[in-house]
Amino acid sequence: MSCVIGAANVKIFGKAFHALVRIADDLYIEALPSGLTFHTVNSSKSAYACFTFKPDFFITYKDDSVEKRKVLLKSCLMAFRSLPNLEKTVEKCLFDLTSSADYLLLKFFCKHGLVKIYQLPYVENETVQGSFPTSGFLCQLNASSRLLYDGIQNFSTSVEEVTLTVCSNKVLLRNYVDDEPEPNKVVHTEITLESEEFDLFEVNQETKITFCLKELKAVLNFCEGFNIPISIKCQTGGKPVTFSVTSLRGVDIQFVLATLADRETQSSSGIFRTSVAQTSQFSKSSQSNSFSSSMPNSSNTAQNVPKFVLTLSSSDDDDFLVQQPLQDDIDNDVVPSTPPHKKFRSMFLGLSQATYTSMAPDPDEVLVVNSDDEHL
């Protein structure tokens, strides 16, 4: 499989790598007759991202055979590090999966006959798909990416999770502070967006969900500069929320984020957060969507590295997994009486006044005697 990206789309192609690296470290590449697909999922399987580049996105697209590869996203960023420079100098880009069995070939044809070649080694032959509902949403919203981007700029950089509340005539976005030891002493930020500010506002039931802000910033940073609409589809707390973009020519984007289960669900079933992924060994003899949904145990994982396959579910109920908080994730140096997963950090600046005074040199003491020439 090989394809050629034109100069007008090189920046879009490169921004996809910059958005995906905010999610995870590995990139799963899938070349199909319907287009070139990039997948990634984070280590906790709570965030999944997918970019699909259709054949009309490219100048030429040759899909002689179905190819599935895996590379490191950091190696891809070496080729697409400076997007403004690529936009000015690159005339076209060759993306080739089949020229070598050991590496992905990227070739940039620049102005004045300059050619840059990158050979990105393959890690493993794996594939990945999302596991999340595709119907039965309680709320569907379409909003401008600029509206959402400007909204999240009001949150502090230390905010990790936000709560999205969809009411009958407005949307509330606030920082999540329920896990703080003293929520009343934490700065509360809340943004209100009226229904008139949305292109589409369909609410079958008022919904409140909590998810990580980092992944939302990834998709909004990609859309920055395009001012394209983003579709938000969500259900109740504990079920995934989907952010999708379909208005870019030849590109479909999906970000699926796990949400925090409500307190009643946590207390009754112990579920803390949903998972948008499941793992299973990939078999070349069966490339359908019917994979085992059981998670491999730790002993099997240590002996045989599993190949990741995240199955796509068309159900709207419980066809996604849930995960328990792992005891191994808790740091051993957490100080008691502090909130969980937060380390106690301190820094000693300077010395005490008594120590500082004792170490200071005597102003009357002569350290260097003047030479005879200086006396004259």
Query: What local confidence, expressed as pLDDT, does residue 373 receive?
Result: 61
Model's pTM, two decimal places? 0.71
Residues forming beta bridges with residue 142, ordered by sequence position: 200, 231
pLDDT digits (tens, 9 = 90+) for 270-322: 444 555 554 443 433 333 333 222 333 333 333 333 333 333 333 444 444 33
Report how far residue 91's alpha carbon sits from residue 105's, in angstroms, rounded to the nearest whole number. 17
Once rounded to an integer, what is the mean pLDDT over residues 225-237?
Answer: 89
Alpha-carbon distances of 312 from 34, 35, 125, 256, rounded to whole Å: 17, 17, 19, 12
Closest CA to 312 of 127, 128, 51, 130: 130
Kindly state the DSSP code that residue 239 receives in the 8-state scheme: S
- In the chain, DSSP assigns E strands to 2-6, 26-32, 35-41, 47-53, 60-62, 67-72, 90-96, 103-110, 115-121, 139-144, 161-166, 170-175, 190-194, 200-203, 207-212, 229-234, 241-245, 251-257, 273-274, 322-323
For residue 293, the model assigns a pLDDT of: 29
Q: Across the strands, what pairs with 72?
A: 26
Label residue 98 by pLDDT band (50, 70, 90). Answer: confident
Report pLDDT for 100: 85
- Amino acid at position 55, single letter: P
Q: Which residues pair with 144 in a beta bridge?
A: 229
Q: Residue 126 and residue 341: Cα distance in Å, rounded? A: 32
